[in-house]
C-alpha cells in the first residue's frame, strides 16, 4: 500500500509529532471575548493533538517541542503525557514563554486560526474569535541546531504541519531539513494547516514547497484555494504530484485520497463524511489526520483510513475542546465496515463515542 510507514527495529515509537502546543482558554459562557467573565483552561496544538489522539487509540506517539520554564509549560507537558504521549524530548526554555490563546466557541475562527474543521461534518453557526499570545514563544525558537534529526526521525512516521513553518525562520529551516528526502528518513506526514493570521506577510508558497517533499499530505480544499488559488481536488493533485498519498479534505462533503499506484497513476478514493451535530469546529482536522494515520499504521485500505479519519474528526467536533475521546477501536472498526448505504445514514451527536460496538449491519440513525 502506498505511503506505508517504515518498518525498522531502530524506531522506538509509531509516530513522532513535532510542533508548538499552547495553553488554550475557552469561555465559561457564549459571547464575545470582551464580554466573557471567565475561562476554563485546556491545551491546543495541531501536532500534540495528533499525538494525543494516536496514543488514545493504542499507538505509541512522541511529541517534540519547546515550552517555557513556566507554569503553562508544566501544564502542557503534564496533560500531553497524561494522554500516553512520550514527552522526553520536550525542552524547557528559560528565556521564552509558553504560548497561550483565547477563543470563543463558534464554528470557525474569524482569522482561520482554529484547529481546522475539515474532514468530519459541519454546520452553520456563529464565527468564533481567536486571540493568540505566541510571538516570541519557546516553540518559535526551534531550529535545526536545537532539534537533532535523529530525534525527529525516531518514529516510523514523522508528522509535521505548516503552522510550524510560519513561526520563525528557524522553524522554517527545521521543516526544510526534515522534509528533504534523504536515506533513513521515516515516512513524513504533512498537514498544510494554512492559517491566514500566520502568513499575512505572504510566503504561503513555501507551504507548497514543503508539501512536495513529503510522503503523505493533508490539505483542505478551502485552504488550498486561499493559499495557492487552486480550485478542486484534481487541481490540487496536479500541483502536488510528488506525495505518495494526497488527502484533500472537503469539509462536510467528505474527503478524496490520491494514492500512487506502483505502476504509475493514482488510485482515487472518495469517502463522504457522516452527518455530525457540531459542538465546536476546532481540532477536527488534527483528529482526521490522526484517524488516517492510525489506519495507515494498521495497514488498512485507503477507504478505511478515510473513514477512520472522519470518525476521529467527529469525535472532536462533538465536544467543546480541541480533543475528543475517540471511539473504542472495536466500535470504530464496526462503523468503518458498514456498507455505503448504512454509512450514509450515520448521524453522530455528542456522546456517540460512548456507544458500544456496532456491527457491520447496524447504523446509528
Spatial separation of the C-alpha atoms in residues 6 and 56, rounded to whole Å: 22
- Please name the helix (run of DSSP H) or strand (run of DSSP E) that holds residue 155, with its range, or none: strand 155-161
Residue pair 204/228 in contact by the 8 Å Cβ criterion: yes
Known catalytic residue at 86: no
Supply the pLDDT for residue 4: 67
Active-site entry in 191, 286, 322, 333: 286
Residue pair 178/188 in contact by the 8 Å Cβ criterion: yes
Residue pair 85/63 in contact by the 8 Å Cβ criterion: yes
Residues paired with 191 in a beta bridge = 161, 218
Characterise 193 by phi-psi region: left (phi > 0), alpha (psi -120 to 50), beta (else).
Answer: left
Residue pair 24/103 in contact by the 8 Å Cβ criterion: yes
DSSP per-residue string spanning 293-348: HHHHHTT--HHHHHHHHHHHHHHHHTSSSS-PPPPPHHHHHHHHTS-HHHHTT-EE
Residues 6+ apart with CB under 8 A from 76: 21, 22, 23, 43, 48, 67, 98
Question: pLDDT (tens digit, 0 to 9) for every residue of the chain, 365 residues total?
Answer: 457 676 565 689 999 999 999 999 988 888 888 888 999 898 989 999 999 999 999 999 999 999 999 999 999 999 999 999 999 999 999 999 999 999 876 544 433 333 333 334 333 334 568 888 999 999 999 999 999 999 999 999 999 999 999 999 999 999 999 999 999 999 999 999 998 888 887 788 999 999 999 999 999 999 999 999 999 999 999 999 999 999 999 998 999 999 999 888 999 999 999 999 988 777 899 999 999 999 999 999 999 999 999 999 999 999 877 778 899 999 999 999 999 999 999 999 999 998 654 433 333 43
Instruction: Tell me the CA distances in angstroms from 249 to 92, 95, 246, 351, 360, one per residue in order.
Output: 35, 39, 10, 24, 25
Locus of grid cell 533513513: 184
Q: How many CB atoms are located within 10 Å of the residue 365 CB?
A: 6
Amino acid at each position: 500500500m502506498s505511503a506505508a510507514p517504515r518498518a525498522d527495529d531502530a524506531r522506538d515509537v509509531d509516530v513522532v509529532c513535532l510542533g508548538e502546543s499552547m495553553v488554550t482558554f475557552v469561555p465559561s459562557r457564549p459571547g464575545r471575548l470582551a464580554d466573557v467573565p471567565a475561562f476554563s483552561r485546556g491545551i491546543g496544538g495541531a501536532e500534540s493533538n495528533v499525538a494525543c489522539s494516536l496514543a488514545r487509540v493504542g499507538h505509541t506517539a512522541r511529541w517534540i517541542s519547546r515550552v517555557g520554564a513556566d507554569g503553562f509549560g508544566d501544564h502542557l507537558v503534564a496533560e500531553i503525557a497524561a494522554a500516553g504521549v512520550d514527552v522526553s524530548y520536550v525542552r524547557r526554555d528559560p528565556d521564552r514563554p509558553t504560548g497561550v490563546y483565547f477563543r470563543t466557541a463558534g464554528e470557525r475562527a474569524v482569522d482561520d486560526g482554529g484547529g481546522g474543521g475539515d474532514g468530519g461534518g459541519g454546520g452553520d453557526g456563529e464565527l468564533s474569535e481567536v486571540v493568540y499570545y505566541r510571538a516570541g514563544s519557546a516553540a518559535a525558537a526551534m531550529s535545526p541546531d536545537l532539534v537533532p534529526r535523529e530525534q525527529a526521525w525516531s518514529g516510523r512516521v514523522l508528522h509535521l504541519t505548516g503552522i510550524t513553518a510560519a513561526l520563525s525562520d528557524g522553524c522554517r529551516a527545521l521543516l526544510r531539513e526534515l522534509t528533504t528526502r534523504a536515506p533513513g528518513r521515516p515516512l513524513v506526514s504533512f498537514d498544510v494547516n494554512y492559517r491566514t493570521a500566520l502568513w499575512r506577510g505572504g510566503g504561503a508558497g513555501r507551504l507548497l514547497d514543503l508539501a512536495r517533499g513529503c510522503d503523505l499530505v493533508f490539505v483542505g480544499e478551502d485552504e488550498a484555494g486561499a493559499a495557492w488559488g487552486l480550485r478542486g481536488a484534481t487541481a490540487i493533485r496536479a500541483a502536488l504530484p510528488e506525495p505518495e498519498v494526497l488527502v484533500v479534505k472537503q469539509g462536510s462533503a467528505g474527503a478524496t485520497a490520491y494514492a500512487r499506484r506502483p505502476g504509475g497513476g493514482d488510485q482515487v478514493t472518495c469517502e463522504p463524511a457522516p452527518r455530525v451535530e457540531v459542538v465546536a469546529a476546532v481540532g477536527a482536522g488534527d483528529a482526521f489526520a490522526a484517524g488516517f494515520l492510525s489506519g495507515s499504521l494498521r495497514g488498512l485500505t485507503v477507504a478505511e483510513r478515510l473513514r477512520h479519519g472522519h470518525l476521529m474528526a467527529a469525535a472532536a467536533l462533538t465536544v467543546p475542546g480541541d480533543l475528543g475521546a475517540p471511539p473504542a477501536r472495536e466500535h470504530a472498526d464496526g462503523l468503518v465496515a458498514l456498507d455505503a448505504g448504512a454509512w450514509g445514514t450515520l448521524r453522530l451527536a455528542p456522546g456517540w463515542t460512548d456507544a458500544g460496538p456496532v456491527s457491520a449491519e447496524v447504523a446509528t440513525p
